[in-house]
């Protein structure tokens, strides 16, 4: 597939790819790893569309050297992976499990040997089950446990990880995991899930301090953002848009950037103790932005438990996940963040951007994914437009390096630049892999 030439980016711009532990590692019982909430959830009947689990996933735990070679071949300067908390602390507390940390040390050293910057996320949703049994993120103590875990990781890897990311998408973990029960731990609390927001943010702030005490590398958080598109133009539609925007786009960013909480349903100010907002607002060096699509909103029907209704966004091509392909949403979002937060906004790195399509090998054994190339070309151009409009964006990471275990969708959604045959674990770079290397990264 040929696309028009891709724009140039400032020198030093960081091109990378992202993955997460439970989605690729497998080796669920190896080297003393404890169970996480995703093991429990995936093993509960009816939770995952194809009945699969992450027990083996992409077997990255054993094949990481091959995957590091794929990263080197792609020419990227950074790799964002996540560290599985239950490998480091099998029950979420106490001393580190050296074998668990040893795996990440081998990975980090392998990356550095190949000139790839390790970017480590500390929490990508796989909470140790023992902490869930004690209340999980509904329990304030989990924030302290998270900072202790951050300290253990930084003590071992603080001299080699080049960018720390505390949490991945606390909004999705709150809303899908605790509000709607679609993700682990499967709680359906709707707006009573607010403690999960506050305690994750508190954990973030405490972890920032723990990381700074051990490492001079920059620290970030990766939030999911979705610009709101109104599906109607009544005052009620506009109010619904404001409500959704506060929940999805502001709840985890306003307090982080020192503006306190926005008005959101369920916010229980009794949970917020003196000093919490200062802990949460500890300066970060980078804001990680994960973007997939805008959200189309209109006023809710009378009697709805939600103050808005989410409706399909029309007028865009769609991915295999049925998500609209809307690169203009990424540009709009980056401008919106700049306009909203002004000088408080640190430099942005797009820490996830990508799409699912039903890619498979042709008769010739090659995997052609022109839709992914078109998707990435549009989103990379959107970032360039935002930079031209004055937004400081310093990196872009594709989700994902490999096809992998897509949470409640199991193995049915393929997001990789590299195809994985799950029966054989054979990796086959797709046409988007060569395109991204040759047209975007240009190593
Ligand atoms: C969001 C994605 C998110 C997904 C969770 C979507 O609506 O746009 O960013 O990852 O939900 O599966
Ligand atoms: C998550 C990834 C996920 C991707 C696609 C993001 O919300 O961080 O883990 O695979 O979206 O749904």
Domain boundaries, the chain: 14-441
Residue 356 has pLDDT above 80, yes or no: yes
CA distances from 368 to 70, 321, 380, 405, 425 (A): 17, 18, 20, 21, 19
Alpha carbon 184 to chain centroid, angstroms: 15
Element (H, E) at 440: none
Quick one: tokens of 143?
């924030």
Clarify whether 148 is annotated catalytic: no
The whole-number average pLDDT for the span 25-48 is 98
Kindly give the interhelix angle for 98-113 and 60-74, rounded to the nearest 10 degrees: 20
Q: Is the peptide bond before 400 cis (omega within 30 degrees of 0)?
A: yes
- For the domain 14-441, what is the CATH superfamily, name and number? Glycosidases (3.20.20.80)
The confidence score (pLDDT) of residue 325 equals: 98
Alpha carbon 402 to chain centroid, angstroms: 15
Which DSSP letter does residue 177 get? I
Looking only at the bridges linking them, the beta strands covering 348-352 and 286-291 are parallel
Residue 1 has pLDDT above 90, yes or no: no
Pocket test for ligand 2, best of 252, 407, 409, 417 (most atoms within 8 A of CB): 407
E-strand stretches of 206-314: 219-225, 228-230, 286-291, 295-298, 309-311
Proximal ligand: closest to the CA of 244 = 1
Residue 251 has pLDDT above 80, yes or no: yes
The confidence score (pLDDT) of residue 206 equals: 99
Burial class of residue 347, CB neighbours in 10 A (0-12, 13-18, 19+) = middle
115 CA distance to ligand 1 middle (Å): 31
323 CA distance to ligand 2 middle (Å): 13
Does ligand 2 come within 6 angstroms of the Cβ of 290? Answer: yes
Q: Where does the pLDDT of residue 290 fall: very low under 50, low under 70, confident under 90, or very high at 90 and above? A: very high
Q: Each residue of 67-123: pLDDT tens digit?
A: 999 999 999 999 999 999 999 999 999 999 999 999 999 999 999 999 999 999 999
Q: pTM score, two decimals?
A: 0.97
Q: Is the peptide bond before 185 cis (omega within 30 degrees of 0)?
A: yes
Residue nearest to atom 10 of ligand 2 (CA): 406
Residue 2 has pLDDT above 70, yes or no: no
Burial class of residue 310, CB neighbours in 10 A (0-12, 13-18, 19+) = middle
Residue 4 has pLDDT above 90, yes or no: no
Q: What percent of the chain has pLDDT over 90?
A: 98
Q: Where does the pLDDT of residue 3 fall: very low under 50, low under 70, confident under 90, or very high at 90 and above? A: low
């Amino acid at each position: 597939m040929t696309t028009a030439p891709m724009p140039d980016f400032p020198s030093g711009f960081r091109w990378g790819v992202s993955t997460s532990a439970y989605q690729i590692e497998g080796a669920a019982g190896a080297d003393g790893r404890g169970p996480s909430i995703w093991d429990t959830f995936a093993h509960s009947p009816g939770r995952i569309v194809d009945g699969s689990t992450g027990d083996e996933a992409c077997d990255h735990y054993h094949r990481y050297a091959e995957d590091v070679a794929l990263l080197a071949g792609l020419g990227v300067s950074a790799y964002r992976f996540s560290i599985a908390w239950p490998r480091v602390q099998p029950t979420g507390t106490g001393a580190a499990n050296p074998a668990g940390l040893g795996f990440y040390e081998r990975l980090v050293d392998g990356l550095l040997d190949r000139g790839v910057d390790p970017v480590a996320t500390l929490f990508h949703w796989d909470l140790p089950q023992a902490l869930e049994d004690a209340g999980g993120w509904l329990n304030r103590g989990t924030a302290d446990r998270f900072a202790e875990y951050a300290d253990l990781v930084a003590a071992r890897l603080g001299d080699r990880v080049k960018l720390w990311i505390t949490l991945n998408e606390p909004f999705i973990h709150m809303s899908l995991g605790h509000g709607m029960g679609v993700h682990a731990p499967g709680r359906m609390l709707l707006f009573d899930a607010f403690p999960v927001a506050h305690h994750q943010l508190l954990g973030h702030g405490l972890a920032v301090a723990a990381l700074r005490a051990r490492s001079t590398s920059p620290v970030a958080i990766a939030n999911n953002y979705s610009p709101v598109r109104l599906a109607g133009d009544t005052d009620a539609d506009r109010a619904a848009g404001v409500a959704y925007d506060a929940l999805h786009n502001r709840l985890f960013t306003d307090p982080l950037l020192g503006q306190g909480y926005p008005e959101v349903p369920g916010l229980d100010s009794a949970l917020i103790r003196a000093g919490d907002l200062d802990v949460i607002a500890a300066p970060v060096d980078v804001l990680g932005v994960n973007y997939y699509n805008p959200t189309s909103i209109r006023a809710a029907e009378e009697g709805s438990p939600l103050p808005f209704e989410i409706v399909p966004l029309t007028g865009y091509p769609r991915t295999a996940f049925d998500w609209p392909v809307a690169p203009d949403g990424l540009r709009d979002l980056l401008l919106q963040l700049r306009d909203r937060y002004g000088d408080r906004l640190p430099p942005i790195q797009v820490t996830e951007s990508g799409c699912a399509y039903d890619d498979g090998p042709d008769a010739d054994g090659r995997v052609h994914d022109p839709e992914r190339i078109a998707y990435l070309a549009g989103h990379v151009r959107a970032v360039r437009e935002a930079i031209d409009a004055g937004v400081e964006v310093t990196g872009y990471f594709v989700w994902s390096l490999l096809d992998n275990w897509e949470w409640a969708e199991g193995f049915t959604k393929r997001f990789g630049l590299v195809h994985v045959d799950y029966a054989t674990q054979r990796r086959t770079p797709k046409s988007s892999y060569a395109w991204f290397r040759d047209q975007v990264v240009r190593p």
